Structure 1
Amino acid sequence: MKATAAATASAMALCSCGTSSAFTTHTSFSRVSAPRNAVGRASAKGMLRPRTLNMAVAIPRAVSVEAAPPATIDMEGVQLSGLNGLALKPKTFPTKREVMDVIPKHCFVKDTVRSMKYAVLSCAITLSMGGLAAAFLPLKLAMLPAWIAYAVACGTAATGAWVVAHECGHGAFSDNRKLQDAVGYVLHSALLVPYFSWQRSHAVHHAHTNHMEKGETHVPEMVSHKGFGLQKQRKLFRTVLGKKLGTVAYGVTQMFNHLVVGWPAYLLFGATGGPSRGITSHFFPHPPFSTGEKGTDLYPGKWKKKVWLSDVGVAGMIAGLVAWASKAGAMQVAALYGGPLMVVNAWLVLITWLQHTDVDVPHFEADNWNFIKGALHTVDRPYGKVLDFLHHRIGSTHVAHHVDCTIPHYHALEATNAIKEAFPEHYLYDPTPLPQATWRLATQCAGVEKRGDMHVFVTKE
């Protein structure tokens, strides 16, 4: 388990900080006491003292490169969301240290028992729904509407278990790393997610949020430029598709591609990933799914072994499903497990899509990007009480999660309110109802153009 703990430490450091090529040794920082900040709260992380860890990427926690505020951009073809252009307004960004200092210190404290209760709760709700469906819903065509309703309800609940495993991957579940990885590994494997593989790729996503070249997932294509690598081919496909289908059919196609095909395509081939890493796979960490080059290889060094370990978990779950189908029939497995799993996958993509994409949410190239700037271009959305309860507020407190991914979800609302109060010009919250926001993304967010020092989604007639 020493190796898994090292993997978790590496991923935690990567997702909670920005990158810096000036650091050639593997360094993280430990916490010491610090004075109270200007608004009267104790510093969340305190002053920083270096300590050495065996990490895949060297990241100093308190460093945030200053970026000049953007000039006013050309708004032709640029629409506005419920943010009303807030993300496009010229502004100077705070450092990560300044943002962290406004978050109450106790928001970073992990309670293992409390975290485990949430894991048990999500699993209990999901399994209870499955048990009721197995007992009372016959496998008949006439019951198809009821089975669809079950899939939506059970899959929505099961997303909560997925979120708990996601917290394990971030190191937000417990200070006991062995327990944390064990819980995350079991829960993610049960949902056919390669735990350590995704832990690493998701950490890269956090480290390069809204980065045009190094971003991981939902990196947009450029509509009036040759693009970067594979983005050119994706852009051409979308342009032709959009012209042939029209707005409505194109939007429906985009929703299908994202919500049905998107998650498997990302795990298998790195769909919507940044161009710097090319085609990647969460199951096979070698060429042709790996650059083999330092700095661009998604799974460098010891992470390759973690990919294979992740494969074992997924393969074990598949073997269990095959055994179940051999005894009870494939139809029962598809109805009780397959339907809810598709809904879980759809939720994962939808939540991430909404967090990092909208008509007036820009992306940046390397010379105008830093970690906190990327994190503060994450968007919180209104999910309502039921979804916030089932999904542990993953969609409504995601800005705070990107500022520091080790904040447990049960402290995220308090951290969010602190950030919102201290940085109202930087905190992004779009009140647009989810269905309307999703349709806007599907129909209007096909590609970006460079406007000034940022890349913005544009509508082309």
Structure 2
Amino acid sequence: MAFALARKGALRPVSAQRGPNVRVAKPGLLRTPAFAARPQVQTKAASLSVPVNDLTDEERKQLAHELGFKSVGRELPDGVSLTDIVKSMPPEVFELDHGKAWRAVLISVTAMAASLYLISISPWYLLPFAWAFSGTAFTGWFVVGHDCGHRSFHKNNLVEDIVGHIMFAPLIYPFEPWRIKHNHHHAHTNKLVEDTAWHPITEEEMAKWDETTAAIYKVFLGTPLKLWASVGHWWVWHFDLNKYTEKQRTRVMISLAVVYAFMATAFPALIYYTGVWGFIKFWLMPWLGYHFWMSTFTVVHHTAPHIPFKPADQWNAAKAQLSGTVHCDYPGWVEFLTHDISWHVPHHVASKIPWYNLRKATESLRKNWGDYMTECTFNWRVVKNICTVCHVYDEKVNYKPFDFKKEEPLFAFQRRFLPDNV
């Protein structure tokens, strides 16, 4: 979906049937002298070619409304460094509290046990609700291991390594490979090509695709199936020893051994006692529920029509971590079970902030840097743009859809039938 500036200051969707390049006359439409003086502006693929900093506060509010956000922040000034932002936060947000850390372990273990019991007693028509609960509880296990990987769980690194491996094992996530690649994501957030989490496809990459590859990418990254695409990311990035240096491989192989040992013992036992259906019911469906949140949290945090990815020579760490990371509010039960991982902006400003201090750190950032932050409440409009529009890198307008040259049936169907709001 593209957005054009309409009368009375509103932003209205532009039908993709009008073609990928839509020019909208700006003078006189918004009745503001600064805007009226601008030349015509090209809109494309849910992004404005006018930089966010060129919009007035009122126009940014309108853009936020149309894109499903509570606020769209201005771009951080060039002179601000990441160190400046970190120093603006109170020192106590960096302090570790072992009691709160172990409380998260207790919550996640108890929630997972309760969810498995619910699955065991639920009739077939209630299983989807039990799976939703168990998948969310499973995500809490990941968040505990996630803090261990960032060295924000315990003052003893050995304890963190042990807990991280234990919490990741049921997820079939090798702890050390994930830790290495995830830290690389933090070091290169929203940097084109370098970011190992999510980044737009480039036209150069698309040119290399055969028909089968193109179909796979378009189905799994160009539809709501993107909300489970972390399954592919998990497989591609964390089991290939060639992606790691000789120095890293010993620890990587230990993590792989832990995962394989879990699979070799837990999976046969589960199938022996509960059958194949029990394996699907008690592990596979909760695991897919976990990957829904893994994918959703990540793409919502780092993908928005107005937030750019930058090549290395244009990339700025402070802008990427503060202005380029989205705060999203989720239902309270989700935030409780996932240990506030959705309060994500301070985590990217300083990854050693433990989960239980993220709310206080967020309030500090809002107070000092709120004009530069993008926030939303989890909603379908935000997700729809991520899944059906934000695909291919464009230097001028950030994103364009896979079918930017000529509309394709898959995307035409989605534009026509997927609602803007649910």
For the superposition of Structure 1 and Structure 2, which TM-score range results when normalised by the shorter chain? Answer: 0.7 to 0.9
Aligned-residue RMSD, C-alpha = 2.7
Deviations 1:227-285 (A, max 9, x none): 3xx4544698898789xx9xxxx6996222x233x22311222xxxxxxxxxxx41121
Q: Give me the whole-angstrom Cα distance separating, in 2, the residues matched to 1:440 and 1:98.
A: 33
* Contact 2:68 2:379 (C-alpha < 8 Å) held by counterparts: no
Shift of 1:92: 2.6
Aligned position for 2:262: 317
Q: Give me the whole-angstrom Cα distance separating, in 1, the residues matched to 2:92 and 2:208.
A: 47
Shift of 1:346: 1.3
| 1:412 corresponds to which of 338, 358, 362 | 358
Deviations 1:200-231 (A, max 9, x none): 11000110000012111211023xxx43xx45
- List runs of 5+ in structure 2 lacking aligned partners: 1-38, 48-62, 408-422
Identity of aligned residues (%): 22
Aligned position for 1:456: 398
The question of 1:254 aligning with 2:201 is answered no
Q: What are the within-5 Å matches in structure 2 for residues 178-217 of structure 1?
A: 178-217=158-197
Q: Give me the whole-angstrom Cα distance separating, in 1, the residues matched to 2:310 and 2:149.
A: 27
Aligned position for 1:61: none
Q: Give me the whole-angstrom Cα distance separating, in 2, the residues matched to 1:159 and 1:202.
A: 16
Q: Quick one: which amino acid aligns to residue 389 of structure 1?
A: F
Aligned position for 2:14: none
Shift of 1:85: 8.7
State which drifts further: 203-212 or 106-115.
Answer: 106-115
| 1:107 corresponds to which of 80, 93, 104 | 93
Q: What are the within-5 Å matches in structure 2 for residues 18-37 of structure 1?
A: none
Q: Quick one: which amino acid aligns to residue 339 of structure 2?
A: H
* Contact 1:87 1:361 (C-alpha < 8 Å) held by counterparts: no
Paired residue secondary structure (2:191): coil
Aligned position for 2:240: 284
Shift of 1:171: 0.7
The question of 1:365 aligning with 2:311 is answered yes
Paired residue secondary structure (2:328): coil
Deviations 1:93-137 (A, max 9, x none): 511121011111010011112101111111101111212432x23
Q: Quick one: which amino acid aligns to residue 255 of structure 1?
A: P
Paired residue secondary structure (1:429): strand
Paired residue secondary structure (1:445): coil
* Contact 1:93 1:373 (C-alpha < 8 Å) held by counterparts: no
Q: Give me the whole-angstrom Cα distance separating, in 2, the residues matched to 1:239 and 1:316.
A: 36
Q: Quick one: which amino acid aligns to residue 375 of structure 1?
A: Q
Q: What are the within-5 Å matches in structure 2 for residues 239-278 of structure 1?
A: 254-256=223-225, 258-260=226-228, 262-269=229-236
Q: Give me the whole-angstrom Cα distance separating, in 1, the residues matched to 2:114 and 2:94.
A: 32
User: Kindly tell me: are residues 300 and 372 of structure 1, through their superposed partners in 2, closer, same or farther at Cα, counting changes over 3 Å?
Assistant: farther
* Contact 2:75 2:319 (C-alpha < 8 Å) held by counterparts: no
User: Kindly tell me: are residues 445 and 73 of structure 1, through their superposed partners in 2, closer, same or farther at Cα, counting changes over 3 Å?
Assistant: farther
Q: What are the within-5 Å matches in structure 2 for residues 388-407 of structure 1?
A: 388-395=335-342, 397-407=343-353
The question of 1:118 aligning with 2:97 is answered no
* Contact 2:201 2:392 (C-alpha < 8 Å) held by counterparts: yes
Q: Quick one: which amino acid aligns to residue 271 of structure 2?
A: A
Q: What are the within-5 Å matches in structure 2 for residues 76-95 of structure 1?
A: 76-77=43-44, 78-79=46-47, 80=63, 81-83=67-69, 86=72, 89=75, 91-92=77-78, 94-95=80-81
Q: What are the within-5 Å matches in structure 2 for residues 430-449 of structure 1?
A: 430-431=376-377, 433-449=378-394
* Contact 2:174 2:252 (C-alpha < 8 Å) held by counterparts: yes
Higher helix share: 2
Aligned position for 2:287: 341
* Contact 1:420 1:427 (C-alpha < 8 Å) held by counterparts: yes
Q: What are the within-5 Å matches in structure 2 for residues 128-139 of structure 1?
A: 128-134=114-120, 136-137=121-122
- List runs of 5+ in structure 1 lacking aligned partners: 1-71, 138-142, 270-280, 291-298
Shift of 1:90: 7.7
Q: Give me the whole-angstrom Cα distance separating, in 1, the residues matched to 2:83 and 2:222.
A: 42
TM score, norm. by length of structure 2: 0.75
User: Kindly tell me: are residues 384 and 300 of structure 1, through their superposed partners in 2, closer, same or farther at Cα, counting changes over 3 Å?
Assistant: same
Deviations 1:148-186 (A, max 9, x none): 221111111221121111111111111111111111110
User: Kindly tell me: are residues 73 and 334 of structure 1, through their superposed partners in 2, closer, same or farther at Cα, counting changes over 3 Å?
Assistant: farther
Paired residue secondary structure (1:381): strand
Aligned position for 2:245: 300
User: Kindly tell me: are residues 239 and 446 of structure 1, through their superposed partners in 2, closer, same or farther at Cα, counting changes over 3 Å?
Assistant: farther
Aligned position for 1:382: 329
Q: Give me the whole-angstrom Cα distance separating, in 2, the residues matched to 1:411 and 1:306.
A: 30
Q: Give me the whole-angstrom Cα distance separating, in 2, the residues matched to 1:321 and 1:415.
A: 40
Deviations 1:409-429 (A, max 9, x none): 111111111112111232221
* Contact 2:71 2:373 (C-alpha < 8 Å) held by counterparts: no
The question of 1:328 aligning with 2:274 is answered yes
The question of 1:356 aligning with 2:356 is answered no
